[in-house]
C-alpha cells in the first residue's frame, strides 16, 4: 500500500486533467440545466468509486499494488463514465420536466444590489441588457425591495417628486407611481420623466401610461400597478393575476399606438408592486399565456417587485418625502 500512493497521485491527476473537458462538454451540451444536479450526483458516485479503486488495488495486491493500481483505477473509472453515457438518455428524456424553473430558481437570490435607501434582492437575471438593446423579447423579472432600517421615509429624487406632485388621471396610486420612478432611477438611471398628464395622445380618452423616462439613452414608457388583496389573508388567485395582466398589458399596447410623435417610445415596462412573494409567483405562472393571448411578441418587460411597505398599497403619503 505504501508504494501505491506514490503512483496513484499522478495517475489520478492525469485522469482528472484528461477527462475534465469531456465531462464539462457532456454536462453543458447534453444535460438540461434543471437536471444537472442529478448528473453531478451520478458523477460524484463515479469519482468515489474511482478514488477507492486505488486503495482496493493496493490492499489486494500488497507490495506489487502500484503496478496494477493505474490499470484498476482506469478500468473502474471507465466503467463509471460508460454508465454515465448510458444513463444520459434517461436524464434527457425526463417525463416530468420542470416547467416552473423560473419560480424555483427565484427561491434563491441571484444577487443583492445596495442602493441609497433600500436594497434590491434580484430573484431573476438582470434585464439591463434587454433595456439597452434596440429590440427585446417579452420577459419578466422578479425582485424584492427592502428599506434600510435607517431610512425613516423614502426621500424622492427630482423626477420621482414630479410624479408625486403632478396630477394624474385619477385613482389613489401616486405613492406607488412615485416610488416606481425612484426605483427606476436607482436601478437603471432613469431620468427626464414625463408625467401621466403631460403625455399627449391623439385622443384625450386614450389608454395612458403612468410616465415616460429615459433609460440607457432610450425613451421607455412605464405603467405601474399593484398586485394585492385588501385583506392579506385572502388568496391572490391565478384568475386575479390573469385579470390584472390582461387589463394592464392591453393598456400598454393601446397607449403605445396613440402617443404623439414627439413622445414616441419603443419599449414598455409593466411595473407590478406585489404584496408577497406568493403573489409574484402566481403572476409568473400565467403571464406568458396572457402575452400570447394578446399577441405581444417584443419590447415589453414585466417587473414584479415584492415590497412589504404597506404605504405602497394603501397610498400612504407619509411613506415618501419629495424634494
* Over residues 3-8, mean pLDDT: 44
In this predicted structure, the answer to whether residue 197 has a pLDDT above a threshold of 90 is yes
In this prediction, residues 61-77 reach a mean pLDDT of: 62
Query: Looking at residue 290, what is its pLDDT?
Result: 98
pLDDT digits (tens, 9 = 90+) for 203-238: 988 999 999 999 999 999 999 999 999 887 889 999
Are the beta carbons of 143 and 122 closer than 8 angstroms? Answer: yes
Name the residue ranges covered by the structural domains of the chain.
2-92, 101-321
Question: What is the rounded distance in angstroms from the CA atom of residue 238 to the CA atom of residue 257?
Answer: 29
Is 93 buried (19+), middle (13-18) or exposed (0-12) by CB count in 10 A? Answer: exposed
Q: How confident is the model at residue 46 (pLDDT cuts 50, 70, 90)?
A: low
Question: pLDDT over 90 for what percent of the chain?
Answer: 59
The H-or-E segment that residue 198 falls in is none
In this predicted structure, what is the pLDDT of residue 96? 45
10: left (phi over 0), alpha (psi -120 to 50) or beta: alpha
- ∠113-119-123 over CA atoms, to 5°? 60
DSSP per-residue string spanning 73-125: HHHHHHHHHHHHHHHHHHHHT-SS--TTHHHHHTTS-SEEEE-SSEEEEESS-
DSSP H or E stretch at residue 6: helix 2-30
The predicted-structure confidence for 89-100, as pLDDT tens digits, reads as follows 655 554 444 444
Residue 79's pLDDT is what? 76
* H or E element in which residue 143 lies: strand 139-147
Grid cell in block for residue 42: 451520478
Whole-model pTM over 0.85: no
Of the spans 83-87, 228-232, 304-308, which averages the highest pLDDT? 304-308
At residue 246, does pLDDT exceed 80?
yes
Of 31-45, 153-167, 249-263, 274-288, minimum mean pLDDT range: 31-45
Rg (CA), the chain: 28
Task: Please state the rounded mean pLDDT for residues 304-313.
Answer: 96
pLDDT for the residue numbered 263: 97
Amino acid at each position: 500500500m505504501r508504494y501505491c500512493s506514490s503512483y496513484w497521485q499522478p495517475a489520478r491527476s492525469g485522469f482528472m486533467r484528461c477527462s475534465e473537458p469531456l465531462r464539462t462538454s457532456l454536462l453543458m451540451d447534453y444535460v438540461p440545466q434543471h437536471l444537472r444536479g442529478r448528473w453531478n450526483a451520478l458523477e460524484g458516485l463515479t469519482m468515489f468509486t474511482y478514488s477507492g479503486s486505488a486503495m482496493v488495488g493496493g490492499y489486494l495486491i500488497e507490495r506489487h499494488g502500484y503496478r496494477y493500481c493505474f490499470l484498476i483505477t482506469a478500468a473502474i473509472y471507465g466503467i463509471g463514465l460508460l454508465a454515465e453515457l448510458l444513463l444520459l438518455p434517461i436524464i434527457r428524456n425526463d417525463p416530468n420536466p420542470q416547467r416552473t424553473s423560473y419560480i424555483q430558481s427565484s427561491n434563491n437570490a441571484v444577487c443583492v444590489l445596495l442602493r441609497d435607501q433600500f436594497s434590491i434582492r434580484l430573484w431573476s437575471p438582470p434585464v439591463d441588457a434587454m433595456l439597452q438593446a434596440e429590440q427585446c423579447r417579452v420577459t419578466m423579472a422578479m425582485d424584492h425591495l427592502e428599506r434600510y432600517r435607517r431610512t425613516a421615509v423614502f426621500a424622492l429624487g427630482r423626477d420621482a417628486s414630479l410624479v408625486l406632485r403632478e396630477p394624474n388621471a385619477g385613482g389613489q396610486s401616486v405613492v406607488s407611481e412615485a416610488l416606481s420612478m425612484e426605483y427606476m432611477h436607482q436601478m437603471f438611471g432613469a431620468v427626464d420623466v414625463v408625467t401621466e398628464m403631460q403625455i399627449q395622445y391623439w385622443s384625450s380618452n386614450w389608454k395612458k401610461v403612468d410616465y415616460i423616462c429615459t433609460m440607457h439613452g432610450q425613451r421607455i414608457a412605464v405603467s405601474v400597478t399593484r398586485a394585492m388583496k385588501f385583506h392579506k389573508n385572502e388568496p391572490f388567485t391565478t384568475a386575479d393575476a390573469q385579470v390584472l395582466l390582461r387589463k394592464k398589458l392591453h393598456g400598454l399596447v393601446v397607449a403605445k399606438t396613440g402617443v404623439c410623435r414627439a413622445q414616441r417610445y419603443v419599449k414598455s415596462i409593466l411595473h407590478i408592486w406585489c404584496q408577497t412573494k406568493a403573489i409574484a409567483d402566481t403572476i409568473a405562472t400565467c403571464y406568458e399565456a396572457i402575452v400570447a393571448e394578446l399577441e405581444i411578441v417584443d419590447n415589453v418587460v414585466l417587473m414584479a417587485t415584492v415590497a412589504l411597505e404597506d404605504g405602497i398599497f394603501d397610498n400612504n403619503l407619509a411613506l415618501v418625502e419629495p424634494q
